[in-house]
Structure 1
C-alpha cells in the first residue's frame, strides 16, 4: 500500500507532516510513502528513509490560492503531483493538510469520481459525548457541495453507511437525516423527498430525522445533510467546543483559592474531556465517492493528527472500501 503525501501542505509543513509520517511508519511498517515537496526540507525531519520515496518540487499551493486555477496553473505543485500519482496508479491514496478547496478540486478533476456517484461528499467522524464507546458518528456532506438535491442525500447515506461498516466496523450503522425536527413530515421539499428515498433504500438502516442539538449524544452512526448545512454545523461544533474550553480555563484561572485547589483536583478529568472533544483522533476528512481515498486534515495539524489520519487511510485501503463501493453501484445499474 502506497500513500502519496503532500509534504508542503498546511501551516506546520513540512515539519508536522514528516514527523507524523515517522510515527505512522512505526505503526505500519508495510506502508510505503511518496513524499512530494522540497527534498532538503523533508530530509531534515525524516528519521530514516526506509519505505520512503521523495519526489522533489519547489512549487506548492498556498492557502489563499484559488482552488481550480491553482491546480491548473501550478502543475508541479506538491499536491497536484501527489494527486497525479494516485490517478496513474503509482499510489493508492493521497493525504494533504493544505488548501481544502484545491484538494477537493484535485480529487474531482485529477483522481476522478466513481462513475455512478453524482457528487462525492466530504465526510468526517465527529465525537459523541454521552457514549464514548460509540467512537463518534460519521457526517456528510461537510462542505464539498454548497447545494444538494434529495438524490444526492440518498447517495450520501449509502456512502456513509459503507464507510461506517467497512472502516469503522459497525455491523448495521444507524443512518439519520439532519432536519429541523424529528417528525417524518418536517423539513424543506428537499429533505421531505430525501426522507422518502432513504425510507425505501434497502441497503441502509434508516432511523429517520435527527436534530442538530442531539448529534453529540450518539443518536446515529451516520448523519446525512447538504454541504452548506453540514459545514455550518461542523464549525458550530468546533466553535462551541473551543469557546467552552476557553471559558472553563478563564473561569478556573480567575477563581478564588478554593476554586484553584478544585481546578487542580479535576485537572486530569478536564484533560480527558478535551480528548473526547478532539475529533482529530478519528483522522481527517475524506472526499468520499472518488476512485481512491483523498483525505484532508486541518491546516494547523500536528504530528499526532497526521499519524491518526494515516491510520485512517490504512483502514480504508485494508478494507478496500472504495472497491466495495464501486461493486455496489455496479450491481445497482
Structure 2
C-alpha cells in the first residue's frame, strides 16, 4: 500500500480545459485529505499552469509542474499522437508512470490516443492480449457494477472476453471488496443459444473454469444492467460504449424531464420543494460525474480515463479513483488473481 499516491495529471486534455482540470485536482486534494494525502505532477504548458495555480494557492505545496509543449487533439488519430508522445502532456504523463515518478496517470483527453500510448509505453501484463476500459456504473443495489470493455476494443474474440471477465472480477474484488464477484456477459437474450459465436464460446469457457475467482451468472440483457444483480458485466468495446453513452443520455433525459415537470406550474413547484431531498438524491446518483474514471485493465501500470466533458466534480472523482487503485495496489492484485506468477496462467487455462 502506498501512503501518498503520486498522480500525474494531463492538465491540458479534455473538453473543458485547464481551469476545470486544476479545479478538479484541488477538489480531489480537499475531498480525500482525511483519508490520505496525494501529490500531483501537473503536466502541460508551464506558464499556463503556473498562472492557473494562482486560483488554487493551497495546491502549490502538493504539486509540481512538468512542462509539455504540445497537446493531443480530441480528433487526432492514435498513430499521429503516438509519434508525438515525448512532447505532449498526455504522453509525458504516461511516461512519468513508466519511469516510476508517478503511481498513476489521469487524462480527460483523446481515448484512442491514451490507450495506444499507454499500451506502447507501459506494456501488457503477461498473458493478456488487450487492455480493457472498465468503469463503475450506478445500480439499484448496494454496490456499483463494473462494466468492461467500454470502448478500447471494438472487436473481441472469446479469449478476450474471458480475459476481460477475470480482470473485471479482480478489479471488483479490489475496489468493491467482494470475495467472489458475480460476472455476466452482455447479450441480446438470456438463453444459451442467443448471441454471437464469440459470446457463446466465452460463456462456455467461463462455466467450465470453476477455478476462477468469480461466479459466472450467464447472460444479461441491456435493460437489466442497473438492477444490481451482477457485480461485473463483460462485453466488447463496441457494445459497451453504446451501452455507456445510452445510460448517460438516459440519466440526463430523466433529470431534464423532472426539471421540466417540476417547473410546469405553481403546484409543481410546491411539489418540488417538498420532494427536493429525494430528487437531489436521485440527481446525485445518476450524475456521471459521481462515477467518473475508467481504468485500462491489463497494463503494467494504472492509467485512468476521465470523461472529456467532466466538470470539476468529475475530475476529482477520477483522481480519487486512481489514488484508491494505487493504495490497493490494483496491478499487483490483478496479476495475482490472474495467476501470472504461475505457468500456465489462469487465463490460458480458461481458454485452452
TM-score, normalised relative to structure 1: 0.93
For residues 170 and 220 of structure 1, the distance between their equivalents in structure 2, rounded to whole angstroms, comes to 12
State which drifts further: 209-218 or 20-29. Answer: 20-29
SS at match of 1:138: strand
Match of 1:12 in 2: 16
SS at match of 2:340: helix
Deviation for aligned residue 1:243 = 1.6
Deviation for aligned residue 1:267 = 2.6
Task: Provide, for residues 104-139 of structure 1, a one-character-per-residue CA deviation record: whole Å limited to 9, x for no partner.
Answer: 1111112222121111111010110x32x22x1000
Match of 1:153 in 2: 161
For residues 12 and 297 of structure 1, the distance between their equivalents in structure 2, rounded to whole angstroms, comes to 12
For residues 332 and 138 of structure 1, the distance between their equivalents in structure 2, rounded to whole angstroms, comes to 28
Task: Provide, for residues 237-269 of structure 1, a one-character-per-residue CA deviation record: whole Å limited to 9, x for no partner.
Answer: 11111122222222332x233223223322332
User: For residues 1-333 of structure 1, what are the structure 2 equivalents within 5 Å?
Assistant: 1-26=5-30, 27-28=32-33, 30-43=37-50, 44-45=52-53, 46-48=56-58, 49-73=60-84, 75-128=86-139, 130-131=140-141, 133-134=142-143, 136-201=144-209, 202-203=211-212, 204-253=214-263, 255-327=264-336, 328-333=339-344
Task: Provide, for residues 244-296 of structure 1, a one-character-per-residue CA deviation record: whole Å limited to 9, x for no partner.
Answer: 2222222332x233223223322332111111112432340111111111101
Deviation for aligned residue 1:74 = 5.3
For residues 200 and 35 of structure 1, the distance between their equivalents in structure 2, rounded to whole angstroms, comes to 47
Gaps of 5+ in 2: 345-352
Is the contact made by 1:93 and 1:292 (CA closer than 8 Å) also made in structure 2? yes
For residues 160 and 292 of structure 1, the distance between their equivalents in structure 2, rounded to whole angstroms, comes to 16
Task: Number of aligned residue pairs: give it.
Answer: 329
Match of 2:347 in 1: none
SS at match of 1:33: strand
For residues 331 and 104 of structure 1, the distance between their equivalents in structure 2, rounded to whole angstroms, comes to 27
State which drifts further: 4-13 or 219-228. Answer: 4-13
SS at match of 2:87: coil
For residues 64 and 127 of structure 1, the distance between their equivalents in structure 2, rounded to whole angstroms, comes to 29
Aligned-residue Cα RMSD (Å) equals 1.7
Deviation for aligned residue 1:225 = 0.6
TM-score, normalised relative to structure 2: 0.89
Match of 2:348 in 1: none
SS at match of 1:217: coil
Is the contact made by 1:282 and 1:312 (CA closer than 8 Å) also made in structure 2? no
Task: Provide, for residues 40-82 of structure 1, a one-character-per-residue CA deviation record: whole Å limited to 9, x for no partner.
Answer: 2222234242231111223111212222212213531111111
Is the contact made by 1:4 and 1:36 (CA closer than 8 Å) also made in structure 2? yes
